Amino acid sequence: MRINDSSRINGVNPYRKSNVGQTSASDMKKGKRDEVQISAEAKEMLGNASNTEKLEKLKDQISSGTYQVDAYKLADKLYPYFK
């Protein structure tokens, strides 16, 4: 009995590339582009001044190396996931 028979009918060749389901870059350029729509609530959140001030403060603390992580707050947030 030969296990690696090369004369099989409909054998699978893993080294052979199939073109089924593949699209070329030129086909993608011709197609429709993706669109993103931002809701009014999201736009409102982006324009919120208090959030931007907090974010700038955090960025400054991180870049200067003075940001301290509260381990207890972090543990409280992670605990439900590991229950």
Tens-level pLDDT at each residue, the chain (83 residues):
556 666 666 666 666 666 555 666 666 667 778 898 989 888 887 777 777 888 899 999 999 999 999 999 999 999 999 98
The whole-number pLDDT of residue 45 equals 76
The whole-number pLDDT of residue 47 equals 73
CB distance 67 to 58 below 8 Å? yes
